[in-house]
């Protein structure tokens, strides 16, 4: 028997769910939620440079379940959790415990959502320990060049050639990390995990930025997946994305004898495409892009030098008044 409602009363939750149209809409919304969740997992995995097999091993979850999750067929408990969050009118992440989140994080998040781009930029500078005037000056006088891109893009080879040509120092960030910690990148990740390596990466970058000299920096391919570190790269360097086709990346990496983190993966090329696709929007934030597809090392180096010439000219112009004073 249908429930009767008194005039002026509000429908209960049960009444709202009882509507066939509402039920159909809820199912569609849940399917869309699971699709978006799967896309987020897939994109994040790609940015981390992890295959499904690696993610399954690290997380202790079966590779089959991860595939289901990424295809939008996640466990129903996730949907139930979403329903609870919706009923409470709060974001889903508020229901997920996190020891690292401050108690007033919900308030901070809402303030950020309402903030203007200028306010967000100022807040970011304060949180990173820069005054707004200092940060503005740091961005205005870039005397450093950073090369970003997937492994096999030619960052080390072209970076070294560029540095020799313009008379600047050349630094490979991963080698700096290895020298400072006395361990290889693979050993650091094995002992401290990705999170530990990224902390060391950020610390090494901060020490490099303390140097009072211009230099060319070759970064690791996954540095773009760490927001704070990548933002520091973008704000402290003239950043160039060295771009190539997936097949060229794979060929160059194999020549180096390094398939990390896709070793023993029969679908290595597909994984590489996934990584490149997920990182492209981040790489595209660079100041400039040099497409090395089909180019020889000499041709790619010449194109890179042409790209950074305006930066070098500005640097020389900035030095001229100081030299004459």
**Mind listing the pLDDT tens digit for each residue in 150-165?**
888 889 999 999 999 9
The confidence band for 325, taking pLDDT boundaries of 50, 70 and 90, is: low
pTM of the model: 0.67
Q: β-pairing, 169-172 with 144-148?
A: unpaired
What Å distances lie between residue 206 and 30, 127, 174, 198, 229, CA to CA?
43, 15, 13, 12, 9
Pairwise CA distance, residues 108 & 94, whole Å: 13
The pLDDT of residue 322 is above 60:
no
The confidence band for 288, taking pLDDT boundaries of 50, 70 and 90, is: very high
The confidence band for 187, taking pLDDT boundaries of 50, 70 and 90, is: very high
Condensed to tens digits (0 to 9), the pLDDT of residues 90-127 reads 677 766 666 666 767 777 777 887 888 788 878 877 87
pLDDT at 190: 86
pLDDT at 182: 92
Q: What are phi and psi of 216, to 5 degrees?
A: -105, 130
The three-state secondary structure class of 120 is helix
What is the percent of the chain with per-residue pLDDT over 90, rounded to a whole number? 26
pLDDT at 49: 80
Question: Picking from 18-22, 38-42, 197-201, which range would have the lowest pLDDT averaged per residue?
Answer: 18-22
Pairwise CA distance, residues 126 & 136, whole Å: 12
Question: Which pair of tokens denotes residue 275?
Answer: 């990584």
Condensed to tens digits (0 to 9), the pLDDT of residues 215-234 reads 999 999 889 988 888 988 99
pLDDT at 95: 62
pLDDT at 105: 72
Pairwise CA distance, residues 155 & 228, whole Å: 21
Pairwise CA distance, residues 240 & 220, whole Å: 13
Q: Which of 20-29, 57-66, 129-138, 259-268 has the highest mean pLDDT?
A: 57-66
Size (the chain), residues: 325
Pairwise CA distance, residues 48 & 42, whole Å: 10
Give CA 137 to chain center in angstroms.
Answer: 25
Closest by Cα among 89, 76, 218, 57 to 144: 218
Contact 63, 101 (CB under 8 A): no
The confidence band for 60, taking pLDDT boundaries of 50, 70 and 90, is: confident
pLDDT at 9: 45
Rounded to an integer, the average pLDDT of 226-246 is 90
The confidence band for 6, taking pLDDT boundaries of 50, 70 and 90, is: very low
pLDDT at 14: 47
In the predicted model, what is the mean pLDDT of the chain? 78
- Identify which has the larger pLDDT, 137 or 321: 321
Domains recognised in the chain with CATH numbers: 19-95 (1.10.260.40), 122-324 (3.40.50.300)
The pLDDT of residue 321 is above 60:
no
């Amino acid at each position: 028997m249908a429930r009767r409602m008194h005039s002026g009363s509000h429908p209960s939750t049960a009444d709202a769910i009882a509507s066939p149209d509402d039920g159909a809409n809820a199912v569609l919304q849940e399917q869309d939620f699971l699709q978006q969740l799967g896309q987020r997992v897939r994109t994040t995995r790609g940015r981390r440079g992890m295959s499904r097999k690696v993610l399954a091993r690290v997380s202790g979850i079966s590779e089959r379940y991860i595939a289901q999750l990424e295809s939008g067929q996640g466990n129903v408990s996730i949907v139930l959790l979403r329903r609870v969050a919706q009923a409470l009118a709060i974001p889903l992440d508020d229901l997920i415990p996190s020891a690292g989140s401050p108690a007033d994080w919900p308030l901070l998040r809402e303030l950020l959502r309402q903030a203007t781009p200028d306010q967000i930029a100022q807040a970011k500078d304060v949180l990173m320990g820069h005054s707004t005037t200092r940060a503005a000056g740091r961005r205005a006088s870039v005397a450093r060049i950073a090369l970003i891109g997937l492994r096999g893009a030619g960052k080390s080879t072209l970076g070294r050639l560029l540095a020799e040509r313009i008379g600047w120092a050349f630094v490979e960030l991963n080698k700096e990390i290895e020298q400072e910690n006395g361990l290889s990148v693979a050993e650091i990740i094995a002992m401290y995990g990705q999170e530990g390596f990224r902390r060391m990466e950020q610390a090494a970058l901060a020490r490099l930025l303390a140097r009072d000299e211009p230099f060319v920096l070759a970064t690791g391919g996954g540095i773009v997946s760490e927001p704070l570190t990548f933002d520091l790269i973008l704000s402290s360097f003239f950043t160039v994305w060295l771009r190539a086709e997936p097949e060229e990346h794979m060929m160059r990496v194999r020549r180096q004898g390094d398939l990390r983190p896709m070793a023993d993966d029969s679908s290595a090329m597909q994984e590489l495409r996934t990584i490149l696709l997920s990182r492209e929007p981040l790489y595209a934030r660079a100041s400039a892009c040099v497409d090395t597809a089909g180019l020889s090392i000499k041709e790619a180096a010449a194109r890179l030098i042409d790209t950074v010439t305006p930066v070098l000219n500005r640097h020389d112009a900035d030095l001229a008044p100081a030299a004459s004073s």
